[in-house]
Amino acid sequence: MSKKIHEIGSLEDIQKVTTENIIKNIEHSQLLIDNLIQSSENVHELRNFRKKSSILLSELRDKNLGKFNEKTSDYNDFTSAEERLNEAAGDLITELEKQSNEKINIKSIAILLDTLEHSIKSRLNPTSELKKQISDIEKSEESHVELLSSNVKNELHLFLNMLQTKYSRNRPEILFGGDYIKDLNWKYFSGDDFIKARLDSVLENPLLLEAHYQKMEHRLIDQIQITANKVKKNQHKCLCLINESWDEETKDFASRFVHPNLVLYLYDLDGGLVFNTENKMAEHYAFWFNTEPGMNKLDELVPGFIDNHEYFIEAEVAKAFGLNIKGAKKLLKYLVDNSVIIDVSFESEKNKKYTKIKPKD
């Protein structure tokens, strides 16, 4: 759990703060849409967007929270729903501000409004059952975090602070499988005993990273299997469980663990990172939980490759940087758009050929 309930207030208070922020964001979005109407040929579509935003405002101002989905959830589900709502409103403003200076893209605005609408309707009702779950979690936290020795707590905080510094200075650029993901959003947030990070866009959320303190329990292996089954088909989740000293049975399980969508790491405060080193996906994402301070970024590696190749094709770029062909094409397009390289292939050539743009004399 991210924070103690007595620190962040009641669930109703959380939703009240979120609602106030979203109302302000939608009102700001309406002003941006009004400005677009004045300067666009897509007046009919934009007025429909303005009307839809007003409907969303009225739904947010309705204080009958009982209309939200009455379904079983946990605290993470509850806060994730509120976070998605905040992000949806923020993404809409960002896109509208961007389009104020560029050509209007009606489709992207429509998608963002639909996402915002879905996020509003996906909020979770703060039921008595959920409140009881949170009370139980607080009691559990007190037993395995607050009562840790000062030395263990210091080591835990040092490790989490190191990860936060790492996430602030680096970001994933290539997914396991070779997709180039420079255009996705990179976000992370942390608490006393955890840090979470993710890559996402309006339509996809392909990578989730999470590290948190975990006491040793006899049902831990079963809990990991349940977590693995909850990961979506098109996602990769990397889970790092932290303890002062993992037992040999749990380490052995982690060193053999394989799942198509979940990677498991154990961080032993006494001994470092434990994972299945024969699992290529685990190797690919290990940097995000080990103690290495930095990584080689593509922006630093690409110039050397270009300088060493007078001409190059997509397959060569893919091989050099661990990309798939789709990822290589995306990287090359980025380099072309930023005037680093130029496409010099002929129409008759099957494989596109590129070279470095020569500086003018």
pTM of the model: 0.64
Total number of domains constituting the chain: 3
- Give the model confidence (pLDDT) of 268-279 as tens digits: 998 899 999 999
Rounded CA separation 282/259 (Å): 10
Rounded CA separation 317/113 (Å): 37
Question: What's the average model confidence in pLDDT over 119-135?
Answer: 78
9 sits in the region (left: phi over 0; alpha: psi -120 to 50; else beta) called: left
- Give the model confidence (pLDDT) of 278-307 as tens digits: 999 999 999 999 998 888 899 999 999 999
- Give the model confidence (pLDDT) of 223-235 as tens digits: 898 888 888 888 8
Rounded CA separation 93/91 (Å): 6
- Give the model confidence (pLDDT) of 153-189 as tens digits: 899 999 999 999 999 999 999 999 999 998 888 988 8
If asked whether residues 313 and 349 sit together in one domain, one would say yes
Query: Looking at 2-6, 9-13, 140-144, 181-185, which range is the least confident one?
Result: 2-6
Residue 73 inside a domain? The answer is yes
The residue segments making up the domain with residue 88 are: 5-128
What is the predicted pLDDT for the residue at 64? Answer: 60
Domain finish residue from 243, 266, 288: 288
If asked whether residues 68 and 122 sit together in one domain, one would say yes
Q: Is pLDDT at 124 greater than 90 in this prediction?
A: no
If asked whether residues 79 and 167 sit together in one domain, one would say no
If asked whether residues 283 and 321 sit together in one domain, one would say no
What is the predicted pLDDT for the residue at 72? Answer: 54
If asked whether residues 173 and 260 sit together in one domain, one would say yes
If asked whether residues 282 and 312 sit together in one domain, one would say no
If asked whether residues 33 and 117 sit together in one domain, one would say yes
If asked whether residues 253 and 198 sit together in one domain, one would say yes
Domain finish residue from 265, 288, 311: 288
If asked whether residues 109 and 74 sit together in one domain, one would say yes
